[in-house]
Amino acid sequence: MTRKLWFQVGVGLLLAILIVKYFMEISFIFEPVVIIIKAIILPLLLGGVLYYMTEPVQKLLEKRKVPRWASILIIFVSLGLIIWGFTAIVGPPVAEQVNNLVENAPKLAKELDLVKDNLLQQKNNLPQNLQESINSAANSLQDVAIKFGKWIVQFLQSFFQAMFLLILVPFFFIFMLKDHEKFAPIIYNLFTGERRNWIKKTLSDIDRVLRSYIQGQLLISAILALMILIGYWIIGLQYALLLAIFALFMNLIPFVGPWIAVTPALIIAYLQDPKLVIGVAIVTLVAQQIDSNLITPNVMGKSLDIHPLTVITIILAAGNIAGFVGIIVGVPAYAVIKVIVINIYEQRQQIKHAATKDI
């Protein structure tokens, strides 16, 4: 019985539960370690994202016989010029739209209150069953809005706290560009034989999945934001640039992000001119169809192969556990865990097949 997979999995789960239980009881011992990890995790993640963004450029430069130190310097200078150019071009109109939004915020809030009052008045004229359904839906939407608001607050708090840690990002970024080939060998050279080969393959698969996800999601998000910006400009929606920038960041969240991004656009469109709601819906629908049928299949391919329902479940769970950061990190973390599990399963199948062959 001890050789059965279900028994081994059950024992493993029980041991994991006991480890977590006793770890929680003595967690105060690890508080200094947790503080250090929290201090470096965000700069490390940002450095990793920058590395995967610029790795193709570094490979291209080194194929043309450019020394590594020179490729790193070129990448840093190019990033600096891109940031400076983006700030110089986009900064003034963004600042103008932010100022306009702040000035018009009281008026927008008043108009939203009027819309809410009108809806409540219309609701009282409906049948009782329909009123209960509307109340239930409103409560659900309110809960979602409250959670989303908490995520945004947590994100803003983390963002302003992270501003003090951003000085670490260039150091992580430089070391990743300089020594990225050395990281995996440090781990798999600790082992020998088949286990070494398995760990080497698993690390390679993890690197491939993370590269595909980060590069693909950033490219998809940028293309979607550009399409949305053009669409909003065509229909004459106010704050189009601000809404497109908001969509750029929200689209980093797979499947759910675009629907979060369209919510403020629909509100502003309704307050500006109710007819514009149709325009915003059409722009969003066209952008999503182009993304689903053309962009994502060609950019991401089958690199992740995660069902949309699984992605939504992961995002909701990660958001409740770790807030906005959890929403961003949840899907790639799941992809990494999936790669590890698949490799473990394949290794077990190979061992089982080899044992059957010997018999």
For residue range 130-156, what is the model confidence (pLDDT) as tens digits?
555 555 655 555 555 555 555 555 555
The answer to whether 237 and 268 have CB atoms below 8 angstroms apart is: yes
Can you tell me which residue has the tokens 């109109």? Answer: 93
pLDDT band, residue 123 (cuts 50/70/90)? low
Please report the pLDDT score of residue 143 as a whole number.
56
- Report residue 290 CA to chain centroid gap: 20
How far, in Å, are 48, 67, 109, 218, 293 from residue 71 at the CA level?
17, 6, 51, 22, 36
Per-residue CA distances from 284 to 97, 224, 235, 259 (Å): 21, 9, 12, 9
Of 99-108, 156-165, 269-278, which one has max mean pLDDT? 269-278
In this prediction, residues 43-53 reach a mean pLDDT of: 84
How big is the CA angle at 161 (ends 157 and 167), to the nearest 5 degrees? 150
Burial bucket for residue 19 (CB in 10 Å: 0-12, 13-18, 19+): exposed
Residue 207 CA to residue 188 CA, distance in Å, equals 14
| pLDDT, position 312 | 76
Residues 6+ apart with CB under 8 A from 162: 42, 43
327 burial via Cβ count (<10 Å: 0-12, 13-18, 19+): buried
Report the pLDDT value the prediction gives residue 99, as an integer from 0 to 100.
Answer: 76
pLDDT higher than 70, residue 261? yes
Three-state helix/strand/coil letters over 103-160: HHHHHHHHHHHHHHHHHHHHHCCCCHHHHHHHHHHHHHHHHHHHHHHHHHHHHHHHHH
Q: What is the pLDDT of residues 268-303, one digit of tens each?
A: 888 788 888 888 889 888 888 887 777 776 666 555
The pLDDT of residue 87 is 78
Per-residue pLDDT band at 164 (split at 50, 70, 90): low
